Chain A
Amino acid sequence: MDYEFKLDQFEGPLDLLLFLIRKNKIDIYDIPIALITEQYLKYLEIIRSLNLDEAGEYLVLASTLIHIKSRMLLPVPEEAETEEGEGDPREELVRQLLEYQVFKEAASALETRPVLERDVFRRGSHEGDVEGTPEDEALVEAGIFDLVAALERVIAASGSRELLEIDLEKISLADRINEIMEILAKNKSLTFHELLGEASSKRQIIYTFLAVLDLVKLRMVRAFQNESSGIIRIFLAVEE
């Protein structure tokens, strides 16, 4: 990372606006829009000169500010306004700012908690250091990305074998689901690899994969992944 100006100092347009409000010691409920807009645009200019990609995100708020500013310049007609919402044009922006500020604080509050692997540690969990051995199967619930990655590995492995597909075997997803449930009922748990490994054709691999996805979705099986070795194990969801 070379000269990336730390615009990350601001987490976005709302953050920049909060910064300006604090810097100018402004009451958030009574923002002098003209002053703030001017300063905001100045910062936007810097942002644009440094990182165009990010500038886009700041532009929307800039236009909102200018819009509010122009509305505040207009005399308020005596009869209550109709569509544009009653009262102060700044109201929506203030609400958004306050909400953002609450979550910004919530984020720092979370940060101050005793974070695992930073402030507190559990027994022998050593990220990246200990090679995952089959004995220490720390299982975490596997997500869809893990399943897809595992599928890619199996397909890559099966691709190296010479496969001749002779006739179209008629298999249905429902059949495959039932088969997998049967296998699991007998074996209690299987690795994803074992499950796919017994499939001989790409078609079967894909059906097996789809079946597992469906079963996970239906919560009939649960997929867990060994934290270190990445091996995915499929369990029946209801064991008792």
Chain B
Amino acid sequence: MEGLKAVVEALIFASESPLNVDKMADVLEDVDRKDIRDVLSQLVEEYRRETRGFWIVEVAGGYHFRTKNEWSPWIKKMKRGKPSTLTPAVMETLAVIAYRQPVLKAEIDKVRGVDTGGAIKKLLEKKLVRIVGRKDVPGKPIIYGTTQRFLEVFNLRDLSELPTLRELKELQE
């Protein structure tokens, strides 16, 4: 297709959230997915190479324009607002959910040695974590997992991109 690269670039630019190949293929109808993937990797490469303030990143299963890390001080200055940060307790809880999902609260509590109710609530509010379902055991405890937003916020392509957990054996040193 003539000008495919430009069209794909425009689609990503206009998309609020990461745009995946399926959606692009839907829009572009007759275009082969392979061709879309080809121009995508070209685009990603071009933005990576050029000295621009932003590039195309592969995140949460799609492609999205994001500013490059190094310019964050200026952007923060422009935005003035403080980014909402998560406390270590909430981050730990998020880590347990991310790596252990689908996971029950009792299991998270056990790993952290404290009640994590407050932290989970915070994560639900921030939409980083969601209720995946209920376990079919007495009490029907809630099962938690991470959201698409979690991938977006932490710049992860998918869950497999999570840094691997250190093996317990290595801790010996």
A interface list, Cβ under 8 A from B: 8, 11-15, 28-29, 57, 61, 96, 98-111, 113-123, 126-129, 136, 138-141, 143-145
Enumerate the 4 nearest inter-chain pairs by beta-carbon distance, A residue then B residue, closest first.
A12-B114, A14-B113, A107-B95, A107-B91
Q: Which of A105, A110, A126 contacts B166 (CB 8 A)?
A: A105
The answer to whether B79 touches A126 (Cβ under 8 A) is yes
The answer to whether B94 touches A107 (Cβ under 8 A) is yes
Interface residues in B117-173 (C-beta closer than 8 Å to A): 124-125, 127, 130-131, 147-149, 152-156, 162-163, 165-166, 168, 171-172
The answer to whether A120 touches B72 (Cβ under 8 A) is yes
For the complex formed, measure the closest distance between the CB of A43 and the CB atoms of chain B, giving whole angstroms.
14
Size of B's binding interface in residues, CB under 8 A: 53
**Given A11-B112, A119-B69, A104-B92 contact (CB < 8 Å):** yes
B interface list, Cβ under 8 A from A: 13, 16-17, 57, 64-69, 72, 75, 79, 81, 83-85, 87-89, 91-92, 94-96, 98-99, 110-115, 124-125, 127, 130-131, 147-149, 152-156, 162-163, 165-166, 168, 171-172
A117–B78 Cα gap in the complex (Å)? 12
A96–B168 Cα gap in the complex (Å)? 11
**Given A14-B112, A105-B166, A118-B83, A111-B171 contact (CB < 8 Å):** no
Within 8 Å CB of B72, what residues of A? Answer: 118-121
Q: Which of B99, B115, B130 contacts A106 (CB 8 A)?
A: B99
The answer to whether B88 touches A106 (Cβ under 8 A) is no
Within 8 Å CB of A123, what residues of B? Answer: 13, 65
**Given A107-B88, A118-B83, A138-B16 contact (CB < 8 Å):** yes
Within 8 Å CB of B91, what residues of A? Answer: 107-108, 110-111
A102–B110 Cα gap in the complex (Å)? 14
A109–B171 Cα gap in the complex (Å)? 16
Within 8 Å CB of B84, what residues of A? Answer: 117
The answer to whether B112 touches A103 (Cβ under 8 A) is yes
Output the nearest chain A residue to B91 by Cβ-Cβ distance: A107
The answer to whether A29 touches B95 (Cβ under 8 A) is no
Within 8 Å CB of B165, what residues of A? Answer: 102-103, 106
Q: Which of B113, B147, B148, B149 contacts A13 (CB 8 A)?
A: B113
The answer to whether B65 touches A118 (Cβ under 8 A) is no
Within 8 Å CB of A116, what residues of B? Answer: 66, 152-155
